[in-house]
C-alpha cells in the first residue's frame, strides 16, 4: 500500500528540526549539521556519496537505509532545494547535491515562482510546483506509481502536510543535541487529534528513533 512518509528526519532534544539562518554556507542553518551526526557516518550516507566500502552499520544505518526503501517520489520545500529567494534569476542553481542528486526519482519542489523541470544525472528530475501542497502531492503520487511519497522537508513543509492530515507515517531521529533556537517541527500540531498513535522507540548508536503511525495504517 502506498504511503506518504516522513523518514529519517532529525530533531534536537529541544524540538528543533533545523538551525536558524539558512544560507549557502549553512544549508541546514546555523549548527544544523549537528542534527545529522547520526546519519553522516552510516554506510547508507557514504554510499550515497560514492564511498562503496566505508560507513558504519548497525541500528542507525538500518533506519537510514529503510528511509529510502519503496520511495517513488519526493516532495521538498524550496529551502531544501537551495538558498535562492524570490523569482528564479536564472537556471544556474541546481540544488545542493551536484550533478547526481541522491533521490534518483521525481522530486517535486514547492515554490511560488515557476521554473522549468530540471533533469539531473542518476534519474532525479526536479519539478517546481506553484499551486500548493495538495497539487504537489497529487503529482507526486502519480509519479510514484504505487510506491511511497516521501516528504523530505524542511520543517515548514512537513508541518504543513501534517496539519493537513496528509502524512501516514513518521520516523524521527532524536539527536542528543540542544540547538537552543531554530525551526520547531510540532508547533501548533496536535498529533493525537490527527490520528497518530504512541511511537515505537528504538535506541541507535547516535540517535533515538521514533516511529509514529496513524491508527488506520498497517
Mention every residue, 6+ apart, whose C-beta is less than 8 A from residue 186: 15, 159
Structural domains for the chain = 4-83+100-209 (3.40.430.10)
Residue 24 pLDDT: 85
pLDDT of residue 27: 87
% residues pLDDT > 90 (the chain): 82
* Per-residue three-class SS string for the chain: CCCEEEEEEEECCCCEEECECCCCCCCCCECHHHHHCCCCCEHHHHHHCCCCCCCECCHHHHHHHHCCCCEEEEEEEHHHHCCCCCCCCCCCCCCCCCCCCCCCCEEEEECCCCCCCEECHHHCEEEEECCCHHHHHHHHHHHHCCCEEEEEECHHHHHHHHHCCCCCEEEEEECCCCCCCCEECCCCCCCCCCCECCCEEEECCCCEEEEEEECCCC
Residue 51: is it exposed, middle or buried by C-beta count within 10 angstroms (0-12/13-18/19+)? exposed
Burial of 114 (0-12, 13-18, 19+ CB in 10 A): exposed
Q: What are the pLDDT digits (tens) for 117-134?
A: 999 999 999 999 999 999
Kindly report, residue by residue over 32-83, the tens digit of the pLDDT. 999 999 999 999 999 987 777 789 999 999 999 999 999 999 999 999 999 9
**Is pTM, for the whole model, over 0.85?**
yes
Q: Is the pLDDT of residue 172 over 90?
A: yes
Residue 189 has pLDDT above 60, yes or no: yes
13-34 confidence digits (pLDDT tens): 999 999 988 888 888 889 999 9
Predicted pLDDT at 5: 98
pLDDT at 218 over 70: no
Span 140-159, pLDDT tens digits: 999 999 999 999 989 999 99
Give how far Cα 39 sits from Cα of 4, 62, 70, 116, 210, Å.
22, 10, 19, 32, 15
pLDDT tier for residue 217 given thresholds of 50, 70 and 90: low
Residue 167: asked if its preceding bond is cis (omega within 30°), the reply is no
State yes or no: pLDDT of 86 exceeds 90.
Answer: yes
Q: Do 207 and 10 form a contact (C-beta atoms < 8 A)? A: yes
Average pLDDT, the chain: 94
Over residues 88-97, mean pLDDT: 92
Amino acid at each position: 500500500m502506498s504511503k506518504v512518509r516522513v523518514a529519517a528526519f532529525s530533531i534536537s532534544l529541544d524540538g528543533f528540526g533545523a538551525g536558524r539562518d539558512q544560507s549557502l554556507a549553512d544549508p541546514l542553518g546555523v549548527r544544523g549539521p549537528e542534527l545529522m551526526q547520526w546519519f553522516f557516518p552510516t554506510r547508507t550516507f557514504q554510499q550515497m556519496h560514492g564511498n562503496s566500502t566505508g560507513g558504519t552499520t548497525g541500528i542507525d544505518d538500518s533506519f537510514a537505509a529503510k528511509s529510502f526503501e519503496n520511495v517513488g517520489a519526493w516532495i521538498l520545500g524550496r529551502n531544501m532545494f537551495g538558498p535562492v529567494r524570490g523569482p528564479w534569476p536564472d537556471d544556474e542553481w541546481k540544488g545542493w547535491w551536484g550533478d547526481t542528486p541522491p533521490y534518483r526519482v521525481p522530486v517535486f519542489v514547492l515554490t511560488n515562482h515557476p521554473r522549468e523541470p530540471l533533469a539531473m544525472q542518476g534519474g532525479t528530475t526536479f519539478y517546481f510546483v506553484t499551486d500548493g501542497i495538495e497539487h504537489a502531492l497529487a503529482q507526486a503520487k502519480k509519479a510514484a506509481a504505487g510506491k511511497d511519497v516521501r516528504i523530505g522537508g524542511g520543517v515548514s513543509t512537513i508541518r504543513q502536510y501534517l496539519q493537513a492530515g496528509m502524512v501516514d507515517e513518521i520516523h524521527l531521529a532524536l539527536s542528543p543535541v540542544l540547538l537552543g533556537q531554530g525551526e520547531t517541527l510540532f508547533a501548533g500540531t496536535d498529533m493525537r487529534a490527527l490520528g497518530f498513535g504512541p511511537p515505537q522507540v528504538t535506541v541507535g548508536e547516535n540517535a533515538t528513533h521514533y516511529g509514529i503511525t496513524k491508527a488506520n495504517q498497517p
